[in-house]
Amino acid sequence: MFTNVEIATAFEEMADLLELSGENAFRIRAYRNGAKAIRDLSESVAEMIHAGTDLTTIDGIGSTLAEKSAVLVKTGNLPQLDKLRKEVPPTLRDIMTVPGVGAKKAMKMFQELQVFDLATLRAACEAGLVASLKGFGEKTQQSILQNMQIAEKAALRLTIDGADDLVERLKAHMKKCPAVQRLDFAGSYRRGKETIGDLDLLVISDDNNSVMDHFAKFPAIQETIARGDTKMSIRVTDSFQVDLRVVAEKSWGAALQYFTGSKEHNVHIRGLAKSKGMKINEYGVFDADDESKVLAGADEESIYKLVGMPWVPPEMREDRGEFEPTIQKRFAKLIELSNIRGDLHMHTVATDGENTILEMAAAARSRGLEYIAITDHSKRVSMARGLDETRLLHQWEEIDAINAKSDGHFWIFKGVECDILEDGRMDIADECLAKADWVTASIHYGQRQPREQITQRILGALENPHVDAFSHPTGRLISRRDPYEVDLTAVIDAAKMHRKFLELNANPSRLDLNDINTAAAIAAGVTIVINTDAHSIPNLDLMKFGITQARRAGVVPSHVLNTLSLADIKKRLEIK
């Protein structure tokens, strides 16, 4: 059965390959829009097809894509895609992930220089061949080389949402195997890292062969890399590796602890064990003088207890403070998704969102939230039809009217995501900002300014009495764009001084602030706010990724503004 993600992935590949082969923009856009629509859909497209539902009722799906989806789901492949793959090397798509290299440049380099993947691109740049191509030049070659590093990293690791999706599919598949008694994912995935190099699947079973045979039948498998008695590695779609280890029940805790890592955390744990006369490995904890004496192994808790410390939440196993008693006090209280009471950053159809205020409010409420802030873009973000003062005031009247009918258990705050302009001024006039409940400032333009200039712009915004928060503070896009140059310590200090909130943006391609910066912010006494920045209803579910990142920073509910109840946040923000 095809998942929506798999169908969307096929359409995205179609779009890329069509673009490379010079197809017209309309057809390409149809595939991209369709892919996005299917990716964001909560119902299963495959199920809809089996039930005979007309797919063209889905926004963004026309009759061509509806028909292609049906072919894909019913036959397992798309003849057009197979044909394209023979005409255009699919690895050319990797080249298109290099920022600044589009389909035209990729195709030209393929035709003129036989560049067909990242490795041959690098070689051609280093040999100076790219610079000599018509329309390229030395400068283009230089920037391609620089941007390739970003693309190479992206090609190697999955972002947390991609990994999450693959994990769900692997779980569903492996649970169908009767020989599997218990399973869990260890490694960086269990630690909640923002990108995942490979997945580490642990299984309890006394029938290793049956488990491995079943693993080999995972639908998205590309190849088996290696298979031994207890360990097997496979490659799944897009060359991503999954390691399977089959362990005995009595070693489950030891294996889980060992393969969760991090390596640095484990080195520290092994040192502690050694100093107490014990030896620790993936099979258990043993008496160092007599290794036949097994002291622990079945569960993680007793392993940590033996080395003299509380069980460590996996997100904190990075050897970054988890061995200090003051940090250990937070372990039991680390923030959870259920602590979140509201979401203070989201967009609507007024700018680049896909849903109305009422739809976003209803969806948030059905997810158990008590309040949201509508924070559409300000006018500088013209690409998203950002709001000017007049449209903003109009939107806030609309929100007033909705709130007037509230039963008191849900509230919409009148907000705006106000751009900090290139010259440091706020994009919206102060007298208008003064009427908002919630102003979150952002930088979308002038991201290449020098560190001093960007920092000053942010400090200026934090001094503005109408500004409440600063969104996605470093502007990075994971694996796509580096953070802008900014003195974050100065930003954190200013936020503390002016009692402003710093955002941990939960979108898995942002996660900004990151774990380390979030830890620095709370250590300085700054309250953070964890927001989805939703542009559609399904985006509201991205909150969980922000929570994971916050847990990695040792965040507890009292560090986070939007764990407050509706009554308390109104008091805190002085909203009547």
Where do contacts with ligand DGT occur on this chain (CB under 6 A)?
Answer: 187-188, 193, 196-198, 200, 258-259, 261-263, 266-267
Does 19 help bind Zn ion (rule: CB under 5 A)? no
- Which candidate, 462, 466, 470, places its Cα nearest to that of 444? 470
CB 118 within 8 A of CB 151: yes
Considering CB distances under 5 to 8 angstroms, the limit depending on partner class, which of ligand DGT, Zn ion, Ca ion, none binds residue 205? none
State the minimum distance, in angstroms, from the CB of residue 241 to Ca ion: 7
Does 533 help bind Zn ion (rule: CB under 5 A)? yes
**Closest to ligand DGT by CB, 254 or 556:** 254
Binding mask 140-169 for Zn ion (x = CB under 5 A): ------------------------------
State the minimum distance, in angstroms, from the CB of residue 505 to Zn ion: 8
State the minimum distance, in angstroms, from the CB of residue 188 to ligand DGT: 3
State the minimum distance, in angstroms, from the CB of residue 262 to ligand DGT: 5
State the minimum distance, in angstroms, from the CB of residue 198 to ligand DGT: 4
**Closest to Ca ion by CB, 251 or 395:** 251
- Residue facing ligand DGT at closest CB distance: 261
Count the Cβ atoms, other than its own, within 10 Å of residue 83. 11
**Closest to ligand DGT by CB, 316 or 350:** 316
Q: Residue 424: CB partners within 8 Å, gap ≥ 6?
A: 456, 457, 460, 461
Considering CB distances under 5 to 8 angstroms, the limit depending on partner class, which of Zn ion, Ca ion, ligand DGT, none binds residue 497? none
Please tell me the distance from the alpha carbon of residue 293 to that of residue 277, in angstroms, as a whole number.
Answer: 12
Give the three-state DSSP class for 213: helix
State the minimum distance, in angstroms, from the CB of residue 155 to Ca ion: 16
Q: Would you call the peptide bond into 462 cis, given omega within 30 degrees of 0 as the criterion?
A: no
**Closest to ligand DGT by CB, 259 or 470:** 259
Please tell me the distance from the alpha carbon of residue 527 to that of residue 321, in angstroms, as a whole number.
Answer: 20
Q: What is the DSSP letter of 482?
A: P
Count the Cβ atoms, other than its own, within 10 Å of residue 270. 16
Does 515 help bind Zn ion (rule: CB under 5 A)? no
CB 170 within 8 A of CB 242: yes
**Closest to Zn ion by CB, 158 or 418:** 418
Q: Please list the alpha-helical segments (H only) found in 157-242.
A: 160-174, 187-190, 208-215
Considering CB distances under 5 to 8 angstroms, the limit depending on partner class, which of Ca ion, ligand DGT, Zn ion, none binds residue 266? ligand DGT
- Which candidate, 510, 519, 533, 528, places its Cα nearest to that of 161? 510
**Closest to Ca ion by CB, 263 or 329:** 263
- Residue facing Zn ion at closest CB distance: 533
State the minimum distance, in angstroms, from the CB of residue 264 to Zn ion: 35
> Alpha-carbon torsion 59, 60, 62, 64, what sign?
negative
Binding mask 386-425 for Zn ion (x = CB under 5 A): -------------------------------x--------
State the minimum distance, in angstroms, from the CB of residue 266 to Zn ion: 39
**Closest to Zn ion by CB, 34 or 473:** 473
State the minimum distance, in angstroms, from the CB of residue 315 to ligand DGT: 12
**Closest to ligand DGT by CB, 261 or 284:** 261
**Count of residues in the chain:** 576
What b/e readout covers 102-111, taking b as 16+ CB neighbours within 10 angstroms?
A: ebebbbbbbe
**Closest to Zn ion by CB, 515 or 533:** 533
State the minimum distance, in angstroms, from the CB of residue 95 to Ca ion: 27
The letter for the amino acid at 60 is: G
3-class DSSP string for 55-96: HHHCCCCCHHHHHHHHHHHHHCCCHHHHHHHHHCCCCHHHHH
Please tell me the distance from the alpha carbon of residue 389 to that of residue 429, in angstroms, as a whole number.
Answer: 7
State the minimum distance, in angstroms, from the CB of residue 83 to Ca ion: 36
State the minimum distance, in angstroms, from the CB of residue 203 to ligand DGT: 15
Does 503 help bind Zn ion (rule: CB under 5 A)? no
**Closest to Zn ion by CB, 37 or 381:** 381
- Residue facing Ca ion at closest CB distance: 187
Considering CB distances under 5 to 8 angstroms, the limit depending on partner class, which of ligand DGT, Ca ion, Zn ion, none binds residue 417? Zn ion
Q: Please list the alpha-helical segments (H only) found in 231-328.
A: 252-260, 263-275, 300-306, 325-328
CB 461 within 8 A of CB 491: no
State the minimum distance, in angstroms, from the CB of residue 259 to ligand DGT: 4
Please tell me the distance from the alpha carbon of residue 462 to that of residue 360, in angstroms, as a whole number.
Answer: 28
Give the three-state DSSP class for 387: strand
**Closest to ligand DGT by CB, 270 or 570:** 270
Half-sphere exposure of 203 (CA within 13 A, CB side): 31
- Which candidate, 105, 16, 32, 99, places its Cα nearest to that of 65? 32
Q: Would you call the peptide bond into 262 cis, given omega within 30 degrees of 0 as the criterion?
A: yes
Considering CB distances under 5 to 8 angstroms, the limit depending on partner class, which of Ca ion, ligand DGT, Zn ion, none binds residue 533? Zn ion
Tokens of 206: 């006394």
CB 198 within 8 A of CB 187: yes
**Closest to Zn ion by CB, 16 or 417:** 417
Considering CB distances under 5 to 8 angstroms, the limit depending on partner class, which of ligand DGT, Zn ion, Ca ion, none binds residue 262? ligand DGT
Positions in the binding site for Ca ion (CB under 5 A): 187-188, 198, 200, 243
**Closest to Ca ion by CB, 157 or 320:** 157
List of residues contacting Zn ion (CB under 5 A): 417, 533
